[in-house]
Amino acid sequence: MKVPSVIQIQFVALRRLLAETKEQFCFAIRNKLRSIFGWIMSLSLFSWLYKNIQKILIKVLSVGPVPEHVSFIMDGNRRYAKSRKLPVKKGHEAGGLTLLTLLYICKRLGVRCVSAYAFSIENFNRPKEEVDTLMNLFTVKLDEFAKRANDYKDPLYGSKIRIVGDQSLLSPGMRERIAKVEEITKHGDDFTLYICFPYTSRNDILHTIQSSVQDCSQNKSQSKIDIKKFTSKMYMDFYSNKCELLIRTSGHRRLSDYMLWQVHENATIEFSDTLWPNFSFLAMYLMILKWSFFCTIQRYNERNYTLFERVYEGVPSILKRKKTSMSLYQFPDPPISVSITGED
């Protein structure tokens, strides 16, 4: 028996209504749980406990090896805003706050450099309103970082910021502001932040090729281009070949034309299903802990211990034979004379 089309339409409408009701219910529950968690964390006791646990974990991890250069592909800001029925701007603002929080943690861990994929050249194809929003937000964050880097009370004091990418695509006003911020923070030696804006890895390699060829044509004595010279001319200078850990959020398993040269050799690439604004201290901590663990094993194996040395290393220190100290009078007598010309 064929069901009348009117009833089919009603069934479809009812199914959609139930799906929307379920989505709204789940959204309300998530918001409620989030507000309860936020209220708990706002209590002084829990806030104090969380901060101290974080300090202990950071000190434990800083004992072992930590990556010198950590890079982030900050993906998921738009989906974060959409899932909370917020404007896209709020999603990007939340992403900026996450980056600032993780910068503090990385600096305390002893990481020397952090790079972040803030804006791809391909992003210029997005709606003009969103591009303008990103540009304005980027300007605000630039000024904020410069203030923090020069405030001795701030954890980011002594940091340096570099904006890398094809700046010819930016407005003259934006380029002037970037140059000003880089000049203000250029003496920061403790920590370096590279903001890739606007950037693609192919553009980075193309820029390096053009720069290398130009130098060779101007300097006739330098006709050979080797890997070391080529790498040094890339946007990130010293850190162009030293990315140990690359983290991408939001569930996508691809690099999106980012740091193809920098991660080709010894980098560890970690993917997280978490949206970038939700990417927490614990998630990054576990990734760096995993990197540190395997790095320790690799360095241990590279030392090529003999079987005796491995067994000896496993013996408790209390059972090891103590080395006897040597008295000054036990050393042999010095020679009567020494020739510095090599003659007898």
Instruction: Write out the chain's pLDDT in tens, 344 residues.
Output: 565 666 667 666 777 767 767 666 665 676 666 667 666 656 667 777 878 888 899 999 988 899 999 999 999 999 999 988 899 999 999 999 999 999 999 999 999 999 999 999 999 998 888 899 899 999 998 889 989 998 988 989 999 999 999 999 999 999 999 999 999 999 888 899 999 999 999 999 999 999 888 888 887 656 677 888 888 889 998 888 789 999 999 999 999 999 999 888 789 999 999 999 999 999 999 999 999 999 988 887 777 666 566 566 655 555 556 556 666 667 777 777 767 665 55
CATH number of this structure's domain 66-302:
3.40.1180.10
Per-residue b/e over 7-34, b at no fewer than 16 CB within 10 Å? eeeeeeeeeeeeeeeeeeeeeeeeeeee
List Cβ neighbours of 211 (8 Å cut-off, separation of 6 or more): 233
Amino acid at 64: G
The pLDDT score that the predictor gives to residue 1 is 54
Q: Give the integer Cα–Cα distance in Å for 34 and 277.
A: 14
Q: Give the integer Cα–Cα distance in Å for 278 and 280.
A: 6
Pseudo-torsion of CA 173, 179, 185, 186, nearest 10°? 180
Measured at the CA of 70, the angle between CA 65 and CA 76, to 5 degrees, comes to 135
